[in-house]
């Protein structure tokens, strides 16, 4: 009996050590993480929370220590139209000035079903920075799990954030690539609202209403409980939404919306949750495409070029 008792002692000692040490973000699979999973990680010195909400909401309350950013912070200003992906150097300067180091894990949350967070995830993926997590449930779930919130705007010392010299741009599609996709009958999906897709309405920044020729329509919001808590739908529900419209998971797919934000969310859903293998997000999206009269567009009453 003594050897059995010894084994039990060793077993429970191991469990005790594991509990004391805690999990690590490096061992956490995937880019989604819950509030309780974050809290289970004992060593938090290399965390940086990014609050991707408008400043007025951030100032009311936010996760303790969180840094507030907004869309303009991650846009390249060197275009005549807005919303374009920042350069590698812009991201490095922004994060270094915010006090985010290359060794940090970045945990992003928003109040829009992870739509804003997914855009930053997409940018960082293109630049091959993988130490990023999207916080499921955002601030409400964080508070429900007992996480600390406050109204203090933190200040971190300037750090060094360096990206790889030759990024893969693995989820990125350019205007030229979209033109080629139309010629080659590649699946192009418009993730905007029905009214935008039909050309009834266009958001500020676009030159005209309409859609890219030969586009299918799947609203990005079909992936979340949009009129509820904005949580992601179950895998079964997501499979029903997308698998019925896309032939196989290995087919090339190009996504777009107004400025590549909503379509970044769909990029996340397709690649990270549903296992689609060849998905790219058109950075300029309708904002860029609509500025060029020679590019083929459609709406419900007219077809151009």
Q: Which residue has the tokens 């180091």?
A: 101
Cβ density class 220-236: b for 16+ within 10 Å, e for less: bbbbbeeeeebbbbeee
CA neighbor of 120 nearest in space, from 156, 72, 190, 168: 72
Sign of CA dihedral 117, 219, 127, 246: positive
- What region does 122 belong to: left with phi over 0, alpha with psi -120 to 50, or beta? alpha
Q: Which of 106, 124, 257, 264 is catalytic?
A: 257
Calpha distance 289→185 (Å, rounded): 18
10, 14, 19, 24 alpha-carbon torsion, rounded to 10°: 180
Q: Does 257 qualify as catalytic in the annotation?
A: yes
CA neighbor of 107 nearest in space, from 23, 155, 51: 51
Calpha distance 212→29 (Å, rounded): 36
* Catalytic residue numbers, as ranges: 257
């Amino acid at each position: 009996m003594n050897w059995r008792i010894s084994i039990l002692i060793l077993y429970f000692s191991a469990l005790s050590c594991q509990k004391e040490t805690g999990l690590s973000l490096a061992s956490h699979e995937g880019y989604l993480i819950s509030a309780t999973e974050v809290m289970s990680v004992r060593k938090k010195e290399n965390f940086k929370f990014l609050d991707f909400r408008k400043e007025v909401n951030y100032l009311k309350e936010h996760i303790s220590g969180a840094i507030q950013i907004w869309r303009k912070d991650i846009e390249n200003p060197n275009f005549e139209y807005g919303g374009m992906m920042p350069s590698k150097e812009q991201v490095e300067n922004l994060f270094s000035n915010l006090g985010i180091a290359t060794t940090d894990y970045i945990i992003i949350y928003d109040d829009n079903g992870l739509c804003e967070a997914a855009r930053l995830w997409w940018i960082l993926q293109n630049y091959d920075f993988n130490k990023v997590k999207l916080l499921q449930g955002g601030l409400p779930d964080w508070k429900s799990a007992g996480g600390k919130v406050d109204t203090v705007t933190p200040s971190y010392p300037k750090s060094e954030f360096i990206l790889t010299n030759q990024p893969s741009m693995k989820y990125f599609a350019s205007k030229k690539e979209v033109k080629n996709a139309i010629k080659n009958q590649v699946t192009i999906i418009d993730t905007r609202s029905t009214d935008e897709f039909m050309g009834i309405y266009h958001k500020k920044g676009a030159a005209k209403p309409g859609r890219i020729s030969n586009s299918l329509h799947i609203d990005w919001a079909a992936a979340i409980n949009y009129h509820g808590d904005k949580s992601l739908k179950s895998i079964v529900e997501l499979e029903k939404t997308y698998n019925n419209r896309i032939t196989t998971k290995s087919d090339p797919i190009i996504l777009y919306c107004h400025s590549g934000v909503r379509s970044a969310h769909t990029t996340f859903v397709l690649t990270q949750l549903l296992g689609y293998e060849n998905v790219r997000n058109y950075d300029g999206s309708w904002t860029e495409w609509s500025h060029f009269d020679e590019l083929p567009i459609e709406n419900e009453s007219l077809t151009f070029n």
